[in-house]
């Protein structure tokens, strides 16, 4: 379900990551209410793929036979059709060895596929979110608050994918826009790349006070960085947990993190950590 600009950005950036993109730029205007545009350098889509991508339950990611073995962000084939139902959606894309193509969808109605000029990858542009449902528009918060939620989504996805580069620009009022977030692609092994990424996002203070974690038990693997108790925080704002590289907001997992530090932190202090729990997707929990 697309409830607000940040959820649209999350779906679009996840699609870009699923497409193997290494650079994603997100442009936004008016808190995402008038424009959300995600440009990626991923595998792209062919002219024939475009209408399919916009039909319900069409996904290129699983064949439906094994819902328990999900390794991509997307698997339901619902994001693009829902975006095309709640706003004016335009997708331009180019797959290797193919010509670029473009499709438009508004109020759930698909337009024809037309040629488009782009060198590679995909540009998804969503304009006038909820234009046809003013009631839903009313539930959105101020542009500032919606923008902040978009930044938070990007921060999390950028922590999950340190090898990829991300930018977020606010184009409100036209012109070059204002750069709101930037995370350059990090190289090196996972821990080097993640250290670089976390220094960029959480600050050097975090990485200088955090230890790499890489442990395995009972088929579960935990990797990331956990800060020393001396670097405890006054809030839980620097707690970022992932399962198989996907940002999660699961109470039980955050409770487990708190429990792990219980003996070394006073009750009003909070640990800081960025941890990815790696589980075999086929494993029953």
Ligand X SMILES: Nc1ncnc2c1ncn2[C@@H]1O[C@H](COP(=O)(O)OP(=O)(O)O)[C@@H](O)[C@H]1O
Using the rule CB under 6 A, give the single segment among 53-61, 177-185, 191-199, 249-257 that binds ligand X: 53-61
44 binds ligand X (CB under 6 A): yes
Nearer residue to ligand X within complex by CB, 74 or 224: 74
11 interacts with ligand X by CB under 6 A: yes
User: Which residues partner with 29 through β-bridges?
Assistant: 35
- Smallest separation, CB 12 to ligand X (Å): 7
Of 21, 79, 241, 273, the residue at the interface with Mg ion (CB under 5 A) is 79
Angle between helices 5-18 and 143-160 (to 10 degrees): 20
Q: Is 15 in the site for Mg ion (CB under 5 A)?
A: yes
Q: What is the CA radius of gyration of the chain?
A: 20
Q: Which stretch binds Mg ion (CB under 5 A): 7-15, 114-122, 263-271, 277-285?
A: 7-15
Which residue from 5, 74, 121, 165 is in contact with Mg ion, where contact means CB under 5 A? Answer: 74
Strand partners, 170: 28, 178
Smallest distance, Å, CB 122 to Mg ion?
12
Q: State phi, psi for 156 to the nearest 5 degrees.
A: -65, -45
C-alpha–C-alpha distance, residues 201 and 282, integer Å: 32
Q: Which of 43, 89, 116, 277 binds ligand X (CB under 6 A)?
A: 43
CB of 171 to ligand X, least distance (A): 20
Cβ-based nearer residue to ligand X, 94 or 197 = 94
**31: DSSP letter:** G
What single string gives the DSSP state of each residue in 181-203?
EEEPPP-SSHHHHHHHHHHHHH-
- Shortest CB 278 distance to ligand X, Å: 21
- 170 contributes a contact to ligand X by CB under 6 A: no
Q: Which residues of 170-194 are buried (b: 16+ CB within 10 A; e: fewer)?
A: bbbeeeeeeebbebeebeeeeeebb
Query: Cα–Cα distances in Å, from 53 out to 67, 75, 95, 122?
Result: 19, 12, 14, 12
Asked if 71 is part of the footprint of ligand X (rule: CB under 6 A), the reply reads: no
Binding site for ligand X (CB under 6 A): 11, 15-16, 18-19, 40, 42-45, 53, 59-61, 74-80, 122
**What is the binding site for Mg ion (CB under 5 A)?**
15, 74, 79
């Amino acid at each position: 379900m697309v409830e607000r600009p940040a959820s649209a950005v999350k779906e679009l950036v996840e699609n870009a990551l699923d497409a193997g993109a290494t650079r994603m730029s997100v442009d936004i205007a008016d808190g995402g209410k008038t424009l959300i545009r995600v440009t990626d350098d991923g595998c792209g889509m062919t002219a024939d793929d475009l209408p399919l991508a916009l039909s319900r339950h069409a996904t290129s990611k699983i064949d439906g036979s094994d819902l328990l073995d999900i390794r991509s962000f997307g698997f339901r084939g619902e994001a693009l059709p829902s975006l095309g139902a709640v706003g004016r959606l335009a997708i331009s894309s180019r797959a290797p060895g193919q010509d670029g193509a473009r499709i438009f969808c508004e109020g759930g109605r698909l337009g024809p596929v037309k040629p488009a000029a782009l060198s590679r990858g995909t540009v998804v542009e969503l304009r006038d979110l909820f234009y046809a449902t003013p009631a839903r528009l009313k539930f959105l918060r101020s542009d500032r608050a919606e923008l902040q939620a978009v930044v938070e989504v990007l921060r999390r996805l950028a922590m999950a994918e340190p090898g990829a580069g991300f930018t977020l620009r606010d184009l409100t009022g036209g012109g070059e826009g204002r750069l709101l977030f930037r995370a350059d692609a990090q190289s090196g092994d996972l821990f080097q790349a993640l250290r670089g990424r976390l220094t960029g996002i959480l600050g050097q203070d975090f990485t200088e006070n955090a230890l790499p974690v890489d442990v395995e038990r009972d088929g579960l693997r935990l990797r990331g960085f956990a800060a020393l108790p001396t670097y405890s925080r006054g809030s839980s704002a620097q707690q970022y947990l992932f399962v198989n590289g996907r940002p999660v907001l699961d109470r039980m997992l955050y409770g487990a993190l708190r429990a792990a530090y219980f003996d070394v932190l006073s009750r009003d202090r909070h640990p800081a950590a960025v941890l990815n729990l790696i589980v075999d997707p086929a494993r029953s929990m």
